[in-house]
Structure 1
């Protein structure tokens, strides 16, 4: 079910490192999951504002309150081989 879910899902540890990603998350992040596992959420994803994401994820972790509709600015990842 996790892998087949069409929306991106990434499980993170307490230090905001990737532990598990589904295929949709890999496509959004434009990286294979095995390259991201163990890395910080802001590492190796230059197409997103990792500072904002890091701040908000830490806030959610500390307060337990969800954040919905977070606007994230970025540019599309560069596709290799094109």
Structure 2
């Protein structure tokens, strides 16, 4: 019998849904308080996950939920990068 590998799941901070890590985008705050998008999911720092969905990213930007989760000021360029990633994924 082949043991099925456990798929790591993370919770989207906007929808509060548990989803496989690969279906989410990680935003990370490093020790210096810089917030960036982490496509690899391996950067050091405090991470927050968002569903790869434009509506979710727009909602996160409106509600400033990432600022609360990461205890940092999230620059609008981070949201722009997230939107670009999602738009590229949908093609």
Please state which band the TM-score falls in when normalised by the shorter chain. 0.3 to 0.5
Q: Which structure dedicates a bigger proportion of its chain to helix?
A: 2
Q: Which structure dedicates a bigger proportion of its chain to strand?
A: 2
Q: TM-score, normalised by structure 2?
A: 0.31
Q: TM-score, normalised by structure 1?
A: 0.33
Q: Which has the higher contact order (CA 8 A, sep 6+)?
A: 2
> Which of 1 and 2 has greater Rg?
2
